[in-house]
Amino acid sequence: MIAIGSDHGGFELKKFIIETLGEENFNDYGTFSDSSCDYPDIAFTLAKDVSRGVCDKGILICRSGVGVDICANKVKGIRCGLCYNKKIAEMCKRHEDANIIAIPADYITKEEALEIIDIWQTAKFEGGRHERRIDKIKKFEES
Whether CATH 3.40.1400.10 fits 2-142? yes
- Confidence at 103, pLDDT banded by 50, 70, 90: very high
The C-alpha atoms of residue 109 and residue 38 are separated, in whole angstroms, by 23
pLDDT score, position 141: 82
pLDDT at 22 over 80: yes
Active site residues: 62, 95
The C-alpha atoms of residue 18 and residue 16 are separated, in whole angstroms, by 6
pLDDT score, position 139: 83
The C-alpha atoms of residue 128 and residue 108 are separated, in whole angstroms, by 32
Specify whether the CB–CB gap between 62 and 68 falls below 8 A. yes
What angle is formed at CA 46 by the lines to CA 44 and CA 51, rounded to 5 degrees? 90
Domain ranges of the chain: 2-142
pTM, two decimal places: 0.96
What separation in angstroms does the CA of 52 have from each of 7, 45, 49, 118, 143? 22, 11, 5, 24, 19
**Higher local confidence (pLDDT), 139 or 126:** 126
pLDDT at 143 over 80: no
